[in-house]
Each structure stands twice: as C-alpha cells, then as structure tokens.
Amino acid sequence: GGTAEARDLAGLLAADPAPGWRVTSSLAGRVSTPRLPPGEVRVGGFGGAEGLAAWLTGHRVDALVDATHPFAAAMSRHAAEAAARTDVPLLVLRRPGWTPAPGDDWHDAGSLTEAAGQLPSLGRRVFLTTGRMGLAAFAALDELWFLVRSVEPPGEPAPSRTEVLLDRGPFTLAGERELLRRHRIDVVVTKDSGGAAT
Ligand SMILES: NC(=O)c1ccc[n+]([C@@H]2O[C@H](COP(=O)([O-])OP(=O)(O)OC[C@H]3O[C@@H](n4cnc5c(N)ncnc54)[C@H](OP(=O)(O)O)[C@@H]3O)[C@@H](O)[C@H]2O)c1
C-alpha cells in the first residue's frame, strides 16, 4: 500500500459480498499517523525480498498486490522477487506518468539531484512537493527560496531559505492556485507520479 489507489482497493475488497476475503494492507511506516485503509493493516519493512517471501509463506498468502507509489522502486522490486520465489501471483497497479499538453512548460529531470541542478536557471522561488525525503539534494541552493510541503517535518538538511508547510493531500485546484499566487512561486518541483490528483 501507501497510495490512495491501495486504500480504495482495500475498501472495495472489504466491501465485496463474496465471503472468504482476508485482506491485509502493508504500510512502510514513514508517516506517524497514516490514513488507514479498511481491513487489517501491518506497518514496517519486511526485511527485503527474503523477509517478504517469508511473510507470504508464513501467512499463507494467495495473492500479492503491489499498489505502491510509482517512485517506491525498492518495494516493487522486492514484491516481484518475493512473488517469484514463493509462486504467489502478483498483481501490479501501475499509474502511468503524465502526458504534456499544449502550454505546459515542463523540464524533465532524472533525479532530485538533476532537478536541483536545473533550478537556478528556472526561477528564484520554488515550491517543492517531492516530500521530505531527498531534501538534502537541494540543501546547497542558498540563493533560492523554497516552500517545502510534506506530511511530516523534514529531518534532513534543507536549503537555508526554506518555509515548511505541513499538509497532506488530496488538495484542490483552487487551493493550489492560491498557494502558488500567495507565495509568488516561479517553479514547482514534483514527481511525475501519474494520476489525476497531482
Ligand atoms: N516514494 C514516494 O515518492 C512515495 C510517495 C507517496 C507514498 N509513498 C509510499 O510510501 C512508502 C515508502 O515509499 P519509499 O519510496 O520509501 O519505498 P521504497 O524506497 O521502495 O522502499 C524502501 C523500503 O521501505 C519498506 N517499504 C516500502 N513500502 C512498504 C510497504 N508498503 N510495506 C512495508 N514496507 C515497505 C521496505 O523495507 P524492507 O526492505 O525492510 O521490506 C523497502 O525496502 C510506500 O508504501 C509508498 O507506496 C511513497
């Protein structure tokens, strides 16, 4: 789990009138007060693919669903490995990335470090929506001002001119526009994680 889609799926399965479903959602434990999906929930890492494989066997799991965020690469890799090792069928919920439309002014970056390298040529006032992990990539950009939005306070080194906004989605288009206006944002850094909400 760890996504709105995973919560929706857990809700659909919990509401399924067919008897016999036992659904467990798994969360990494990054957020101290997570939005809990319906049904059983377990929190914390499994200990790599090997740990997940042992969990699947130990709990006699019939099917595994990878509904993690598109940027949760390690977990998806471990799920594929563990499913193959234990012969448990794996369903992967994929959110395709976005497609630019006329008028969009997008600058692709392959990593947060690459994005940080591009920023000084794109603007002075930055809205960073990539989460509190990886903030260190922007820490040296002292000449820029950052609005950092995250669910939990960032623990990593941050740029010296940073304002933190603790909030969690879903957000509204009108609210987002107002935020950009109020803070006179020049450039937004976000993850191309697909979906309509972002
Ligand atoms: N990356 C993002 O931008 C992002 C955005 C929104 C939500 N999320 C959600 O936040 C969680 C962590 O994301 P991440 O990018 O840090 O993951 P990651 O880099 O792929 O995973 C790092 C480690 O965290 C543990 N882990 C990750 N997802 C887990 C889950 N659903 N249940 C149990 N353990 C999990 C695993 O530990 P072990 O090896 O010990 O099993 C994994 O090896 C995921 O559930 C993801 O869906 C991520």
* Nearest residue to 125 (alpha-carbon basis) of 172, 193, 192, 179: 179
- All residues at 6 or more sequence positions from 7 whose CB lies less than 8 Å from its CB, including other chains: 1, 25, 35, 37, 38
192, amino acid identity: D
Give the CATH number, domain containing residue 120: 3.40.50
**Pair 73, 64: CB distance under 8 Å:** no
DSSP annotation of 149 reads E
Task: Work out the pLDDT band at 197, boundaries 50, 70, 90.
Answer: confident
Q: Are residues 88 and 135 in the same domain?
A: no
141 lines ligand 1 (CB under 6 A): no
Range 179-196 average pLDDT? 94
Average the pLDDT over 51-64 and give the result.
97
30, 61: one domain:
yes
In-domain check, residue 197? no
**Residue 198 pLDDT exceeds 80:** no
Q: For position 150, what pLDDT does the model report?
A: 93
The reply to whether 102 falls in a domain is: no
Residue 17: pLDDT over 90: no
Atom of ligand 1 nearest to the CA of 76: 20
Domain membership flag for residue 154? yes
Residue 67's alpha-carbon distances to 4, 78, 121, 141, 154, in angstroms, are 9, 13, 36, 34, 25
Instruction: Determine the structural domain holding residue 27 and report its residue range.
Output: 4-92
Residues 70 and 125 in one domain: no
Q: What backbone torsions phi and psi does residue 192 show, to the nearest 5 degrees?
A: -75, 80
Span 74-93, mean pLDDT? 98
Is residue 88 domain-resident?
A: yes
For residue 17, the CA-to-ligand 1 centroid distance in Å is 31
pLDDT digits (tens, 9 = 90+) for 117-138: 999 999 999 999 998 888 999 9
> Which of 8, 50, 71, 75 is the pocket-test mutation for ligand 1 (most atoms within 8 Å of CB)?
75
**Which of 40, 68, 198 is the pocket-test mutation for ligand 1 (most atoms within 8 Å of CB)?**
68
